[in-house]
């Protein structure tokens, strides 16, 4: 039997990092019949049901192995989620070395291992690739613009000033035509140069010159200038948009689709904050007020409120996340809201099939946390967005969607109460959803995202680049 070309992929913990890498692997084995992909997965604890569901449905040319879980006692207490992901991979390197050595030395292996592909937060895997003389590729689950900022971080760090960390300032990204407000920088940067979170984040991008290439989940029609500027000094491969073909969670699917089927075309605002986003109870009340005030149809995926925005997507977490609790999210809505809006909207608890909803003809807008996966899904299906970032690099994504791609609006936070008021929620909903306003901001957004939808379709076509 002919020996297959084997590629080992090392994700970092977190569904939002695992899913796009899995989808990329599926495309590789679909288009290259002689390829075999093996996932070697660092873990902090037992895999979640969602993780198991994704991995157990892989095609025959892809398999997976969970590396032994690291000891949580070996991690510093109260560390940021990004540092936790980085250290989980770093502490898993001995196990990864053994796993790869076994693949390479096994006399029964039918696979010729040639390369390691790993997540941005798994960059320490470069050391393993070098030891075994394997090709190494980073798979970036972010936009090219966000990656460009991070790639420039080591150089910025050498010449950093107090102005760089002044959140009231705007900062030009080197080798780019893009500017960002400092307050929209990714979370680890805002911790400051002296923090361990910042230092571990910086460490990742100081090593990018060592890899053989960077694979980006984006496409040239979307980020042509940024991708071109990166190609001047790195091997860059834009392979996107890579999204799931269907939602893994079928929770509430029949209820949502049946309801959407009764709604007019482009009339429904879909509201969801991804796999781990939660809001405070006060903010939930303001969104509810804004929805009523707007009068537009809505489908809202609601989770139990928390004191702060939540990153419960971390797959290795041993803690039970808010949206997996037995608490009923709907009881946190304002008194009488469900009755008053029974003809206007549908509220479902915890989860909904996002792909099926965004691709439905009745969906006309998406209020999103701006995770890159959700942003790409919205672009692919031509659904304009209301940006509501919560954590990680989502604020940078929001700024990109509104100011660079011009396919979204972003509500203003009330500076006194540090919350988005219901009147502001209603205002941005009207911009996105009102189809009757001619020469409006919303009309321009819809035209722009339709152009990008066509570009996304061309990028993933058989002859797309």
Query: Which among 11, 54, 14 has a CA at the least distance from the CA of 275?
Result: 14
Q: How far is it, in rounded angstroms, from Cα 183 to Cα 129?
A: 36
Which uninterrupted H or E stretch holds 148? helix 144-151
Query: Which among 287, 283, 312, 282 has a CA at the least distance from the CA of 300?
Result: 287
Q: How far is it, in rounded angstroms, from Cα 327 to Cα 362?
A: 30
Which residue out of 36, 119, 187, 323 is catalytically annotated? 119
The phi, psi pair for 389, rounded to 5°, reads -70, 150
Q: How far is it, in rounded angstroms, from Cα 139 to Cα 181?
A: 26
Cβ-based burial of 199 (10 A; exposed 0-12, middle 13-18, buried ≥19): middle
Please give the DSSP secondary-structure letter assigned to residue 333: S
241 cis-preceded (ω within 30 degrees of 0): yes
Which residue out of 17, 80, 323, 369 is catalytically annotated? 17
HSE-CB for 396 with a 13 A CA cutoff: 25
Residues in the chain: 465
CB 375 within 8 A of CB 402: no
- Classify 376 as helix, strand or coil: helix
Query: Is 403 marked active-site?
Result: no
Query: Is 212 marked active-site?
Result: no
Q: How far is it, in rounded angstroms, from Cα 47 to Cα 32?
A: 29
Q: Which residue has the tokens 């699917």?
A: 253
HSE-CB for 461 with a 13 A CA cutoff: 9
Q: How far is it, in rounded angstroms, from Cα 166 to Cα 183?
A: 8
> Rounded to 5 degrees, what angle do the CA atoms 389, 214, 183 make?
25
Q: Which residues pair with 181 in a beta bridge?
A: 170
Q: Which residues are catalytic?
A: 17, 119
């Amino acid at each position: 039997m002919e020996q297959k070309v084997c590629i080992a992929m090392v994700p970092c913990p977190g569904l939002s990092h695992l899913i796009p890498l899995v989808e990329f692997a599926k495309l590789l084995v679909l288009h290259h019949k002689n390829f075999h992909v093996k996932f070697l997965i660092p873990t902090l604890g037992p895999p979640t049901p969602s993780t198991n569901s994704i991995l157990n449905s892989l095609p025959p040319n892809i398999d997976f192995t969970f590396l032994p879980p690291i000891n949580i006692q070996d991690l510093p207490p109260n560390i940021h989620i990004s540092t936790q992901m980085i250290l989980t991979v770093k502490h898993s390197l001995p196990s990864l070395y053994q796993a790869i050595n076994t693949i390479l030395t096994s006399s029964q292996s039918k696979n010729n291992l040639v390369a390691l592909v790993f997540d941005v937060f798994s960059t320490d895997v470069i050391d393993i690739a070098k030891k075994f003389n394997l090709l190494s590729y980073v798979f970036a689950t972010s936009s090219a613009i966000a990656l460009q900022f991070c790639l420039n971080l080591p150089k910025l760090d050498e010449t950093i000033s107090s102005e760089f960390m002044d959140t009231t300032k705007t900062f030009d990204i080197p080798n780019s035509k893009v500017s960002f407000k400092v307050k929209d920088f990714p979370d680890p940067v805002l911790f400051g140069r002296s923090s361990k979170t910042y230092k571990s984040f910086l460490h990742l991008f100081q090593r990018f010159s060592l890899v053989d290439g960077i694979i980006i989940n984006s496409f040239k029609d979307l980020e042509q200038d940024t991708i071109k500027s990166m190609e001047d000094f790195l091997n860059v491969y834009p392979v996107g948009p890579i999204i799931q073909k269907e939602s893994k969670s079928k929770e509430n699917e029949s209820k949502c689709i049946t309801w959407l089927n009764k709604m007019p075309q482009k009339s429904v605002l879909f509201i969801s904050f991804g796999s781990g986003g939660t809001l405070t109870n006060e903010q939930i009340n303001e969104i509810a007020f804004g929805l009523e005030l707007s009068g537009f149809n809505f489908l809202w995926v609601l989770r139990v409120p928390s004191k702060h925005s939540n990153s419960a997507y971390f797959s290795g977490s041993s803690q039970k996340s808010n949206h997996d609790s037995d608490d009923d999210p709907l009881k946190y809505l304002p008194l009488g809201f469900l009755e008053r809006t029974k003809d206007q909207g549908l509220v479902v608890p915890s989860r909904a099939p996002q792909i099926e909803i965004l691709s439905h003809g009745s969906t006309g807008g998406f209020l999103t946390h701006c995770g890159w996966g959700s942003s790409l899904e919205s672009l692919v299906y031509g659904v304009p967005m209301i940006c509501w970032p919560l954590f990680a690099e989502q604020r940078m994504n929001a700024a990109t969607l509104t100011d660079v791609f011009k396919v979204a609006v972003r509500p203003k936070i009330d500076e006194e109460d540090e919350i988005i008021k219901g009147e502001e929620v209603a205002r941005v909903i009207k911009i996105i959803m009102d189809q009757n306003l001619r020469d409006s901001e919303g009309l321009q957004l819809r035209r722009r995202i339709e152009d990008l939808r066509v570009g996304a379709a061309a990028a993933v076509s058989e002859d797309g680049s």
